Structure 1
């Protein structure tokens, strides 16, 4: 598999995205569970089936582009809102990037490292793969100049807090389902979802600025456009101290990002699953 990844990493991005589009539709055709979850989650957010179907090919591209992003040459990247990063860094504060499962979330950290990492590195939280070959590959691919990886362990969380207190950047996906005991039930598109409290804990780890970001996948393999903007809770105030209220504020912010480009959201992700031994969501 590692050899296959290396071969694929040499292919042009348009070719990989074309292969990924086919892969996405193959998965859709072969898995009834995949189809049911895809349609149910998109409908929960108020989107018709055509939006869910548009995301099928994008989900396949998400997988097929990984060899190029992890092992291949740099890809074209545009920026929208890079000035918000520069302004945050100018204040000497740590920067917490929150990114949903939208578009290409791998490129957001890589693009940051390439542009800003020489003077202000980023540490990203990741869940180690179960397969040994993939675990080693992912760990190596995400460790690059200006970019460090922290596992989803207590030691990894301490690494994130240390980076923020040093005025560095940290990135994570707050719509990722956490283990039991590390989250609260909070509405996400109108349905209770087990939501991590780590985002709020990191935001309160000293002087921290929160920025929202996501990587738009451009058509025909032309590269990516990284969007960055300040985190602005709907109530106009700061992030709440209460974990449940903070989780709701962050979920609302993630919903707003998803609504910018719903076909590129990973609707097949099992966002509403309950962690093992977790209490049932409120009725």
Structure 2
């Protein structure tokens, strides 16, 4: 398997994206569970049929580009494969020295965000990203090796990992989190996402509140015909002000609702590149089911 991945890593990105588009449709054809989940999640958000079809191919491209990203030599920069939009926001946040918390959903190529940031700013600040190790030994080893790059550090999705993220922010460094990833039981709260209750992590907003770090939104748009990626950076809106007498649970839900709203706004910029097949609405083992609560209706794309 590694030999195949190494061979793929040497192919042009445009070739990998063509292979990936075919792979995406192959998975769609053979997996009824995947088809149902993608359709249901996209329909919940009011996503147009054309964007749903695009999402099938884009999910395959995401998989096919991983060898190119993971096995690319550390001394071979991304260079012109990355174009920046809003990078001044990240530069200003680093200059402020209060730490930078970067949030990106499962949109476009989130793997390239960390590498591009580490290449450009790693000489002045390490970027620490949280990840969930793969179950297969060979894949876990590949992930760890691929992500061990200058200016880039990773921590596991555990209490120890959370402590390392907080320490990094308090040192004035950068931290990256995928806030639309379903957290383990006890590390999230139910909040609406595209009009349906989704178990949402509380880590991101707690880190922001406890550290005072700058909060930025970032995502990498996959450009047509393997032309590379456009990284978009924007300041996050302000977190909700704590309500007088609000319980910790109520405040967590308010923060999670705001967080999901930010992610929705990013996804609507390019709905065809969101990972609609991700099991976003699952109930984590041990977590209580979502209580009945008023929800908003996802509007059209």
TM-score (norm 2): 0.91
Instruction: Determine which of 91, 116, 120 is the counterpart of 2:121.
Output: 116
Once the two structures are superposed, residues 32-54 of structure 1 have per-residue CA deviations (whole angstroms, 9 ceiling, x without a partner) of 11111111111100112221111
Once the two structures are superposed, residues 156-201 of structure 1 have per-residue CA deviations (whole angstroms, 9 ceiling, x without a partner) of 1111111101000000100000011110000000000000000111
Partner of 1:33: 33
Kept in 1, the 8 Å contact 2:194–2:264? The answer is yes
Root mean square deviation of aligned Cα: 1.4
SS of 1:3's equivalent? helix
Q: Distance in 2 between matches of 1:50 and 1:77?
A: 26
Partner of 1:258: 267
Q: Distance in 2 between matches of 1:13 and 1:239?
A: 46
SS of 2:133's equivalent? coil
Partner of 1:277: 286
Alpha-carbon distance, 1:244 to partner: 1.0
Partner of 1:159: 164
Instruction: Determine which of 131, 138, 143 is the counterpart of 2:143.
Output: 138
Q: Distance in 1 between matches of 2:25 and 2:35?
A: 10
Partner of 1:84: 89
> Unaligned regions of 5+ residues in structure 2, if any?
293-301
Once the two structures are overlaid, the 10-residue window that deviates more, 214-223 or 49-58, is: 49-58
Partner of 2:152: 147
Closer/same/farther in 2, CA of residues 117 and 31 from structure 1, 3 Å limit:
same
Once the two structures are overlaid, the 10-residue window that deviates more, 241-250 or 99-108, is: 241-250
Q: Distance in 1 between matches of 2:254 and 2:153?
A: 30
Q: Distance in 2 between matches of 1:129 and 1:5?
A: 16
Q: Does 1:223 align with 2:228?
A: yes
Partner of 2:57: 57
Q: Distance in 2 between matches of 1:89 and 1:238?
A: 25
Kept in 2, the 8 Å contact 1:88–1:209? The answer is yes
SS of 2:211's equivalent? coil
Kept in 1, the 8 Å contact 2:133–2:140? The answer is yes
Closer/same/farther in 2, CA of residues 69 and 205 from structure 1, 3 Å limit:
same
TM-score (norm 1): 0.96
Q: Distance in 1 between matches of 2:191 and 2:240?
A: 19
Alpha-carbon distance, 1:206 to partner: 2.2
Kept in 1, the 8 Å contact 2:132–2:157? The answer is yes
Q: Distance in 2 between matches of 1:79 and 1:112?
A: 10
Once the two structures are superposed, residues 218-256 of structure 1 have per-residue CA deviations (whole angstroms, 9 ceiling, x without a partner) of 0000000100000014xx856888211111110000000
Q: Distance in 2 between matches of 1:206 and 1:23?
A: 42
Kept in 2, the 8 Å contact 1:239–1:246? The answer is no
How many matched pairs? 281
Q: Distance in 2 between matches of 1:163 and 1:33?
A: 39
1:207-246 equivalences under 5 Å are 207-233=212-238, 242-246=251-255
Kept in 2, the 8 Å contact 1:96–1:171? The answer is yes
SS of 1:276's equivalent? coil
Q: Does 1:126 align with 2:135?
A: no
Kept in 1, the 8 Å contact 2:184–2:284? The answer is yes
Once the two structures are overlaid, the 10-residue window that deviates more, 19-28 or 203-212, is: 203-212
Kept in 1, the 8 Å contact 2:77–2:119? The answer is no
